[in-house]
Structure 1
């Protein structure tokens, strides 16, 4: 069992809390596999109306915890299976969930953490939160992130984030579509509680119908985008190592 996050059902809210503040809530690939499984289980649970993603400590999530490189350089297929697929599966589980997901962002969201927020159906952030996609600093093309951003963030905003790797503040993140609302840090939990309470007054079947609409109509071709993103990243990363 992973110690990188906790999960619990609170009435009709399923809450996932990133729980390694000393490490910036960075997530290993094993933790990502576990989170995807949690989201899938909660999304199918008839008792759950919303999945809430939050974090402990000053940072929301500083991205993926990078492990030591293997002794033998992986093939493109191995890289895709061992690195890209666990990340894409989190996004896929969020996309396929029968109920909406809410991100409560109290601090910095970097790399995977930034995409994690964008992949949620709703997101509220503290005014001190910051967002960045620094992957290209290590010559890692963030195609996986772009598979999430393509219908949520304007293309030029996405390009600015991934090419320049600059950090943006919460107000800019709201303007660009990563989040929908910015509140003072002291009010963040209260606002997220109110959003959850409002959604939980609705019938689950109505919430699921809306989620289906967003999934199939406003965010089409997710599977194709995911497949192309994984293949492009795997090919680029294994080619650079040769």
Structure 2
């Protein structure tokens, strides 16, 4: 994979560790890892920095707490009901920042993996659904319970409905009930369910496997995946055909094909 690049930064609510091409962003905002305004902004800042850091090949989002994330900070939101506008401005700022964060994950050139051990609820579930891959422990659970408190999970709905079937998404959104890890796997919300003690090992294996690929190819493929998913069938094939041609002309594709024919390991240059 080339040079070893290792950095560790301590942050009050988001841990930062970069080693061997894998950037780990750890949610650590006690007691519930609420996605406060400051936490979402810090995650956005780290994701923006990672876009320009060639040492970053894969990003993992995990948690240091027993709860992956309880979603938005309801106390923070409620405190602004006494604002002159009854909180409208702060509510809009919060929801728009959340939407920006989720789109930053989807549009990020690096694959993002959610490593979940515990409950992911509301916007926390939205965060999991927004990641490219999600691996959870058998102790994990998920829900979109806004309907229970008179606040439909409309923004989590966007990510959720793009990961699971409509009826399964509506089941979660209308009932607000918690689903266990195996049901989340059945719904398609997560890729794998693993024993708690093996979560880090398996997530790391996924990350290292992806990090060993051509960065150019992974970047091209992730962008193409999400763009074609928003198109009609014919348009998607036209677009994917052009992507495939441009990818074939890249140096890494030429190297990878030659290495396959010559039965040797490819040497990627991200070009």
- Tell me if both proteins adopt one fold, taking TM over 0.5 as the criterion: yes
Partner of 1:15: 24
Quick check: 2:117–2:137 contact (8 Å CA) kept in 1?
Answer: yes
Per-residue deviation, 1:132: 0.7
Residue 18 of structure 2 is aligned to residue 4 of structure 1:
no
Match of 1:216 in 2: 227
Which residue of the partner structure matches residue 263 of structure 2? none
User: 2:115·2:199 contact (CA, 8 Å) conserved in 1?
Assistant: yes
Q: Which structure has the greater CA radius of gyration?
A: 2
User: 1:26-71 deviations in whole A, cap 9, x for unaligned?
Assistant: 2211211221221122133222111100111211111121211332
Matched residues, number: 220
- Residue 60 of structure 2 aligns to a residue in which SS? strand
User: Which residue of 155, 166, 173 maps to 2:166?
Assistant: 155
Distance in 2 (alpha carbons) for counterparts of 1:37 and 1:4? 13
TM-fit CA distance, 1:84: 1.1
Q: In 2, distance between residues paired with 1:160 and 1:11?
A: 41
Say whether the 8 Å CA contact 2:116–2:134 is kept in structure 1: yes
1:188 aligns with 2:196: no
Query: 1:101 offset after TM fit, Å?
Result: 0.3
Matched, 1:57 2:65: yes
Alignment of 1:1-242 (within 5 A): 3-20=12-29, 22-66=30-74, 67=76, 68-72=79-83, 74=85, 78=89, 81-219=92-230
- After superposition, what is the alpha-carbon deviation per residue over 1:86-124, rounded to whole angstroms, capped at 9, x for unaligned? 111111111210011001101111111111111000011
Distance 1:120 1:96 in 2: 10
Contact 1:154 1:176 survives alignment (8 Å): yes
Unaligned runs of 5+ in 1: 222-242
Q: Aligned in 2, Cα 1:69/1:125: closer, same or farther, shift over 3 Å? A: same
CA distance in 2, matches of 1:145, 1:220: 22
Task: Kindly indicate whether structure 1 or structure 2 has the higher relative contact order, using CA contacts under 8 Å at least 6 residues apart.
Answer: 1
Structure 2: runs of 5+ lacking an equivalent: 1-9, 233-271
Contact 1:33/1:89, CA 8 A, preserved across alignment: no
Partner of 1:70: helix, strand, or coil? helix
- TM-score, length of structure 2 as denominator length: 0.76
CA RMSD of aligned residues (A): 2.0
Q: Please, which moves more after superposition, 34-43 or 78-87?
A: 78-87
Normalised TM-score (structure 1) = 0.85
